[in-house]
Structure 1
Amino acid sequence: MATALYELLQQPLSGLLRLLPPDTPLLCLQGAALVGLLAAVLLVCRRHGLPLRQRSLALGLAVGSAGYVIGAMVSNYGESEVRPTLVIDFLYLGAYLGGWRGGLLSFALVELARWQYGGIMHLGAALADGSIHVLCGWVLRLLIDPRALLHLQAHTVLWVWAGRLLSTALGAWVGMVLSDTPFETLVLLWQGRAAVLPISLLVIYCTLLLLATDAQIDAQQAREHALLRRDPVSGLANRRALSECVQAHWRLEPSRAACLVVVELGNLSDFLSRHGHERAWQLWKSGGLEQGGALLREVLAALRDYRPTPFQYSDFSLALFLEGVALAELEDRGELEAALRRCEVGLSRAWPGYRAAVRCAVVDLAPAHEAPAPHLPYREITLALNSLPRGVAYFNSLMRQDQALDAFIESQINRWADPRTVPIWLQPKLHLANGQVGGAEALLRLNEPEGRSVSPMRVITVARRCGRLAEVEWATVAATAHLLQGLANRLPGVSMAVNVSAESLRIPGFAQQVQALLAQCRVPSALLRLELVEWSDLVDDPLVQANLAQLTALGVPLSIDDFGTGYSNLLLLTRFSFSEVKIDRSLVISLGELKSLVVVQHIVELAHRCGATVVAEGVETTAMATQVRDLGVDMGQGYLFSRALPPEEFLAYCRRPRLVLPV
């Protein structure tokens, strides 16, 4: 059965092959090799991300190389003077795919093979013949660009093939005119070229199909590239496109001044509460909502001299890339402030019931101070925007110094995981009755690398903004416990107080952490005092209440800081067992006023009834100290007695005789 089927299929196929010219199989193999080579070259070019121009040159080089190799392989084929090669297709497609550069490469390689393996007898005619094929391919490229074949159609294939027919006819005619080739050889040449035309049509179709597929992939990637770089709601280029724009500026024009302006609503929450997220998302839409379009046009019109390029920086903010202007120049002109005021007026009119407050950050992109960073200056933009509720914030040298200081503070916070690196200074608290040191408050005293002191509130602000306030407070507690471990034998009975806020007291198990720390340092719990600041947040939090109760049970003394300045003092004092109450400095300074005097008298009486010691903060003169002592205050703290001191200086201070107030 299998034999019969084989014979049935073999007979018509053998008959068909006998009808074809004997060189047809070899020519078909050449065509298949050429198409396969072009496919491989396109894959390699795409893998290495070569642009279209270099891709075309690679195709021309590949076609010429294939022509050279095949010319060498068929040089000894048979006894006929006409070799069975697709030489016309190599020259024609080399110029059509590779342009004039690729065509010249193909021409040089193919003619080199002709000369090297065919001799110089008809070299002039061969050069003229090859030149016509290259010229026809290049002209056709000008008419039908192969890089733009997104959709392959039959008439395109036929046009390219028609160009191939024309080059075949012209080349054969020129070769016949310029050479003295025998008539029999010319007949064989014409017959060979006519026989190869169907194979050329197939090769051209497969080649164009490869190019169309490659162009479709390019178009799809371009669409994806555009989608990734455009906001779908506003239609503006997004932050990714902005980053690429800034990168290109730094790479191509690093010395040219440029600025980045980021605009947003300072009172966005008011807008959202009145009009919702759906309209806010379309706030900067260039077409659609009239209000958003008007606002965008207003900003662009105010800065049109700087060729502003708009980008969607975030859902509710707009970025403008300005060329040819430095931050200092923009700040001196003051045009941005006027533009924002007009925007606020327009927005307030356009959105009923909403009074707009627009703010913007201006960041210099020119590398005037340092080499450009490999990314957008996100930190600078955020710091500038957060520095004011409305208006223009220029990230100038002063703000740059602030940023450097904040970065330094953050780096120091990272180091404070080791308690020995925490810069703790101690401010004495003295008994007003006899002038003896009864304790100290442990305070962070950080210095810049240049030696200037950093405000403690600046450290707290940076830590809070970074969400690391509890971390800083624990570092201070741990460092103070280690100080007590070293000073306990030299200063027996002197306690040290550390400020803690609700951030720390909301941590589950905070009291157990304090207990473990004291046990590790072998410090009696009575020597480490915790001063509660921002006590208005402590009243109703169950976790805070649980930690305070456990600290009291462990024998850790608690102190209320800044007493007399908030509504929740009395509630705290009655709910928890505080051993110390510190009167706020503002009350101590204003004791000359009757109202402050009465408030302090009541604080002292209430604290003593609850069993707490009273400490007056901010005592700066002997008269203040005498007055608060006469009101019943137990201890004083302030510059009259001493500023905060390093631990060794505090130890020396405790050993010196001190002022005793007059009776």
Structure 2
Amino acid sequence: MKSAFSSLSHTNFFLAVLWPVLAALCCIALWIVTLARADTEAERAETLVLKEADTYAQAYEQYVTRSIAQMDQITMQLKYGWENSRRPGLIEDMRAGGMFTDQAFVSVSIVGADGAVLSSSRGAGMPPSMAQAAFFLQHKNNNSTALRVDVAPVGFQADRQQVLFTRRLERADDEFDGIVVMAVDGSYFTSFVSASSLGQDGVLALADSGAKFWIEQGAAGRTANTQVLDLDAVGIVGDGARLLGAEAFRDGIARAVGWRDSPVYPVVAVAALSRQEGSAAARHYWEASRDRAVVASACLVLLSALAGVLSLRAAAREREYEAVRLAYRTATESANDGFYMAAPVRDRKGQMVDFRIVDCNERGAAFYGFRRADLVGRALSTLDRGIVGQEIIDTYRLAMSNGFYEEDRRMPVDDRLTITWGRRRLVRVGNGLAITLQDISERKRHETDLERLANEDALTGLRNRSWLLHFFPTLLRAVPKAGSGLAVLFIDLDELKQVNDSYGHVVGDQLLAAAARRLGTLLRPTDQAVRFGGDEFVVLLRPAIDERSIDEGHVAAVAERIVATFATPFALDSGVQAVTGASVGISLYPRDGLDATTLLRNADIAMYAAKNEGKGHYRFFDQFLSGQAERCAFLKGQLARAIEADQFLLHYQPRVDTVSGALLSMEALLRWQHPEFGMVPPGEFIPLAESSGLILQIGALVIDKACAQLAAWGAAGMQPVPVSINVSPKQFGRGVVACQFEAALRRHALPAVLVEVEITESAMMGEHAVVLAELAGLHKLGIKLHLDDFGTGYSSLSQLRTLKMDVLKVDRAFTNELEQGEGRVFFEAIVSMAHALRMTVVAEGVETAAQLRILQEIGCDEVQGFHISRPLAAQDIEACFLGAHRVACA
């Protein structure tokens, strides 16, 4: 008995020792796990607050970018209005019409080229002259018309921090004519911030990329002039978010800060969230975990404390519930959406006949023009009457039946309602409905504007290409049912580029607008005119048809009227008399195609055929034109392969002294030996190479081949004469011609006197500085320069003096006129002018002995043409080196 008792005593003693040890070990393990999880939650909270700061910064950046885009559009409209009217009272009239009345617009002004204010929405609070302002000088000295964002300097209204949006104004000749200045209250970009979105210590700020200005707004109501973030300690960083300690903020509160650069404008959006508020959830988790650990520990140590621990936990849950309820109430009152609680009103049979507002927020009451206290308790039928009111009640019934309903609705025309479009969401909660009403009026207006802009050409007011491609299938489906044919007229203005080059793009735009108006006067109401792009228009005609075919006569008559009408000069608003013309291509449905793509392509092919026939014509599509287009497309695709396969070769046409017939030089002429088509004419593949950009590779290939051939002739013991090489305007535009010639001469060990360069007049119409630099580089190498096809372009005497050309090659068109009296006089004048400029004159296209005789008489230096020799292959031209170097070499 004693032994058993002793054993039991030892067991109890052992258990008495064991249970406390086990309890202690369990408590230690419990607290280790609790602390580890708390650390994890704290890290997750920091990550989350960083992500939220970055998200808010991104959303704020998008808002700022949209807001500045609106300022951009307003300044562009002011620029366009001023440049087209130059009316001194422009801004004042616009303000009288209701614009710029918002308090955010501190002032909107037109400043002249001398810095004086010409027109303004508010004269006070602005300097008398802006001539020395940095932003004014920047616009004056830079021809960019892009929007400039800056902070208002000294001289503007000092009690409001202002952001300036400025844009350059130009005269018709693109010279500086002043600026548009729009001063916007800085708080406009930050005033919407609230504690519900960023927390009590949240901050939004807007700065430029150089931190020249800083606009800040705190969620707790700080003014824009109170700067919390210490820029000297932090600076502006790139996109992203990071945690900053309390030393980085003047109020001593550590925050997570997100930066976002606007991809469009030089501004930075900054959002800062309190680290303490962001880590509140982690602290709550730690507190809850600590409480549970304490409870568990207390249970292990003292089971009698269980009831008290449960009571504490119940109280904690009640506090959490109360905090959630309070947070929800705060969120609904601070939101932009309207919130309502509605209860059904039933008749004696239990049918829902109306609904009553039992609760709402102030925003929701404001939508109906009430205060919350006035709206709560009202029946729905008293708010929305008539048919519209009955429809809304039916909608509420449907939501009660289904549990959920959502719709976008145009709000009824009622002076009491403050929104035009609303998005209503209804959710059944118990025996009532929770309704959210969001104002989407601005979004709907934006969608309408976008749809109009997407389908209308802003310059001419005509339908645009996007509308045409969407409308065409519907039209084609309707044509057979209507029993009328369809004709597609593809119209191209012939001389728009010349107008742009001569008078500027502003005049070119006026010409396009005038052409659109003139085109509209030639069409019936059932026809459609579309600006397809650039200087191209498309007209859709629905002509009458007989039993077998479309009435081509009617279509041709319309095309003739278009061609004849467009040949009449356009009197533009700028005072310019613009002369242009139109080429028209026509395709017919269903003869020339059954879909929009085919009809437009075939009309385009016919238009180019009409343009190639001399412009100012119209042409119906036929299959022969399609074959030509396919051949061009095929050759264009073969050009790159021809370069790789070395299918190009050079022929050489001699150029001789007019009197003695001595061989002086040769012109290298490119030929394409295609394996399928044989010798492809240069006039067929050179334009394709120009349009595809392959002319740059082909031009480099020609330079190398010509230099290699000269080196081969020299190595064979011959004495070759100089070879002139034609260089494309696109090669000059790239600025690589001099480098290519220098490399080729070095590679083939040739003296520069054996190489000459021919440049056409059209090359001089490009970037003039680039052309001058290229010509100077070639002169420095010792290469002679020829001005080719003189008389067919836009050369002027001043250009010839500036470019310092060595040789003037007169186009064959003037050579053909030599035997006529005026032709000889004109050619003789060209020779006199060239000799006065110390230039050698070469006559191109000499084909008769009579022409040669006249050229000898008027003193032309050199001649070239079939009468002298046709272009010869390299092996055939060698006889000229071995012979007497006379005209007889032909």
Task: Give 1 or 2: higher strand fraction.
Answer: 2
TM-score of the two chains, using structure 1 as the length reference? 0.50
Task: Give 1 or 2: higher helix fraction.
Answer: 1
Structure possessing the higher relative contact order (Cα contacts under 8 Å, 6 or more residues apart): 1
